[in-house]
A and B are shown apart, each in its own frame.
Chain A
Amino acid sequence: MAKHKIELKGISVSFPGVKAMEDCDFTIESGEVRAVVGENGAGKSTMMKVMAGVNPHYEGEIFIDGEKKHISSPIAAKKFGIETVYQEVDTALFPSLTIAENIMFNKLIYSMDGKALINWSSIYKTAKKVIDDLNLKIKPRALVSTLSIAEKQMVLIARAIQEECRFLILDEPTAPLSTTEVEELFTIVRKLSDEKQVGVIFVSHRLSELFEICKTITVMRNGKIVVEKKDITPELTINEIVTNMLGTSFEEIFPRKNTIVGNPLFEVHELCDLNGKVREVCIALKEGEIVGICGLVGAGKTELSKLLFGADKCRNGKIFIRGEEIAVKDTTISTKNRIALIPEERRKEGIFVTQDVVSNLAIACVNKLINFFMFFNQNKAIKNANKYINDLRIKTPSPFQKVRYLSGGNQQKVAIGKWLAADADIYIMDEPTKGIDVGAKREIFDLIYGLADQKKGIFYISSEIKEILAVTERVYVMYNGRIQKELITSETNENEIMYYATGGN
């Protein structure tokens, strides 16, 4: 099989006032699996977009198989055999069409050769062949809406390789997947690179996985390629990569500290939800304590967080605050009892993107900002906003900036800030660092430590075991809707947590 090669030479991409990519050299060949890492804004996606033809306004030269080419559009990229699977799988799929139709979509659009009628049996046959090639356990005639995120990703990969695919770009493919699903994805990626000689570019935040699958790693920082390591081994530790990404080491990023734990604050007995996603959960939280709830994707962490906040209905169970039983039936009651939820889906559930920072920081504490006649006091709201913009160091040009223009980290600070303004005591944080770069993570952690110092209680819910180990004092490990094990953080390690999270006992 012929070897193919893409060479990027001196590629720069400028957006008005900013260089998103500066003088980058990057080469990938057939059969190679390459990791590209870097913080948010380091230029990873810009480089992927150049290769995918989404961003044709670049300076510099691209050589494909030694010949100088211009990748002018996504269709041009496809012609060069460059296929991309983006992180948001749902945006590329048609849920009400069958798996086969989704896989064969490009063929249905571009390669009808002037024919008006569709040969369905050939479509299903080809799709079946691709599915079998990848050893997928899905039926070509099933609807895409019935699939899990992992399976949807597979459908997109199937669609990509159904074309003549020489290079496959996977943008943050593992972020929404569980460990077993990640393994399956890796099996397929290995198969593609070994058997079909596809060059795979793997963009990821999850550093520990990269060793398993990638032979070469490219680290980007501030639009430049900082380092490119060939034949990576476990000797090139995560610590070293993070140092390259940031210029600081891992220990500094997650400073550990001891807090003094006070009286019991929040207690839950035998909490069950209606769908069996959360079963007989008993957990407790003390003043000034940061308690982790750790588990893999699908363990029921998000369901539990909604249940604790009263956003979903529970079948049975009791909730006590400072020893007193309360009926958390809806979100209004829980906010009155000073419980706060920082949800996982920040933009969808945590903030109001088209409203300004002032309104966002006011929404949970409107009752403090109104007068006797229910009139809203805008001046008080601005004061309130300025206080939290300063306290949390929210980077915004003005308190009247709409939050959709803020960065992910700053949006998360707004999502937390609204509860600080509401004077909440119990914070349920579901994946608070999801999609946030390492620098902003540190600030979020500092914020959480600050809360604990003020005798607030925090549930830190995450599937990132390293973060749980760094941040919390105690950790509940969840598996299949149940609390599998309670551990003291300082006496445990990553392996032990993973053991319980995967169902060991």
Chain B
Amino acid sequence: MKLLENLKNKEWFKFNFGIFLSNWGSVIALVVVSIFFILKMPNMFLSSGNITTILRSISVTTVVAIGLTVTLAVGGFDLSAGAMASWTGVLVISFFTWHEMNMLQAMPLAILVAMLTSFVSMMLIIVFKIPDLLATLAMMFMIDGAALTYSGGGALSQGWPKPDGTPSEGIISDAFREMGQAPTIIIIMLVVVLIAHIFLTYTKYGRFIYATGENKEAARLSGIPVKRYRLIAGVISTFFIALAGLLVASRNMSAQIKGAAGYSMPAISAVFIGRSIAGQEKPNAIGTFIGAALVGILENGLIMMAVPYYSMEAVKGLVLAIALASAYYTSKD
């Protein structure tokens, strides 16, 4: 017994390359990829303009991914993030153009409607006990359909007529456009990462969310109101996803059909790439940011090296596969 204890103590300090790789693989990859591009294109890649481009291009993905980080931290999953972001975009643009609201009315209202929508998801998951993956799959279709029905089956932009055919008078203000431009969008992203990091790591709620995510039954038997925290996490997650929807709408100055659908999967990838950073073994805000940055830098650098954009998906998939392999390879069977 004594010997066994000693062994355990030693293992704690012993350097294990596999574990090191799983803990720091994403960071190493980020550094290696950056150095590669810097050496390859010393003038182009490190220019301040390009760094801004990279940060701007990852900002929407990061904000969606932060939302998903909260969902995954509580042990959930969300396939409907892209649909939810698109839906928020449709709402906010319609509030501007059809209902002639200003930013302070339109944006909070759009986020509020999105959060109310997420109550339906949470009801399916918590009350009807549908597995998260399946409930949000159903929700994805429902939200997409609702958004299309609401917009009359098409995209929305300034000057687009109302569903009954009457012309719309509202305008999308320049301040709203500014939100989607650098540096504002980058600042929003960084603030979101910071808030999520503080919330998950340093507050009581974060503790309870992680405890619930690891083991619902143990959490319940520790006196944590598990259902309440799953609901809270779902609603907070939706707040971030809805915010990302606003950013997409602001960049496009319009609401495209399923305009944010493409952000869902890269965001999930980012969370998983950053999951095991520093041995956390749980979804965390900083890791998610690093994950999103890795994918963004890779995409940016490869485009500059004239790799066609349509091959990018394959690269993203490969990065995710490598990240997951390094994270799970060392885990116990």
Contact = CB atoms under 8 A, between A and B. Distances in A.
Interface of A: 15-19, 39, 41, 222, 309, 311, 330-332, 334-336, 341, 343, 348-355, 359, 362-364, 366-367, 370, 373-376, 378, 395, 397-398, 401, 405, 407, 418, 422, 439
B317 to A, nearest CB: 27
23 contacts: A16-B7, A18-B6, A19-B3, A39-B1, A309-B221, A311-B220, A311-B221, A332-B225, A351-B218, A354-B214, A354-B282, A355-B214, A359-B210, A363-B219, A366-B204, A366-B207, A367-B204, A370-B204, A376-B203, A395-B5, A405-B8, A405-B11, A405-B12
B39 interface: no
Nearest to B280: A354
Contact of B1 (A341, A350, A376, A439): A439
Contacts of B10: 17
Contacts of B9: 397
Contacts of B205: 374
B206 to A, nearest CB: 7
A363 B207 contact: yes
A397 B12 CA distance: 8
A311 B216 CA distance: 12
A424 B251 CA distance: 54
A399 B8 CA distance: 14
A11 to B, nearest CB: 18
A478 to B, nearest CB: 21
B223 interface: yes
A101 to B, nearest CB: 24
B281 interface: yes
Interface string B280-311: 01100000000000000000000000000000
Contacts of B6: 17-18
A430 to B, nearest CB: 10
B268 to A, nearest CB: 21
B204 A350 contact: no
Interface residues of B, number: 33
A17 B207 contact: no
Contacts of A41: 1, 4
A363 B8 contact: no
Nearest to A424: B223
Given A19-B3, A331-B223, A363 B211 contact: yes
A349 B204 contact: no
B221 A376 contact: no
Contacts of A349: 215, 217-218, 221
* Binding site secondary structure of chain B: helix
Contacts of B207: 359, 362-363, 366, 376
B222 A335 contact: yes
B223 A332 contact: yes
B177 to A, nearest CB: 35
Which of A222, A348, A375, A395 has the most C-beta atoms of chain B within 10 angstroms of its own C-beta? A375
Given A16-B7, A348-B218, A349-B218, A364 B223 contact: yes
A349 B224 CA distance: 13
Contacts of A351: 218
Interface string B10-25: 1110000000000000
Contacts of B223: 331-332, 334-336, 364, 422
Smallest CB-CB A-B distances: 8 pairs: A335-B223, A17-B7, A18-B3, A397-B9, A397-B12, A374-B204, A370-B204, A18-B7
Contact of A376 (B8, B206, B218, B222): B206
Contacts of B204: 366-367, 370, 374-376
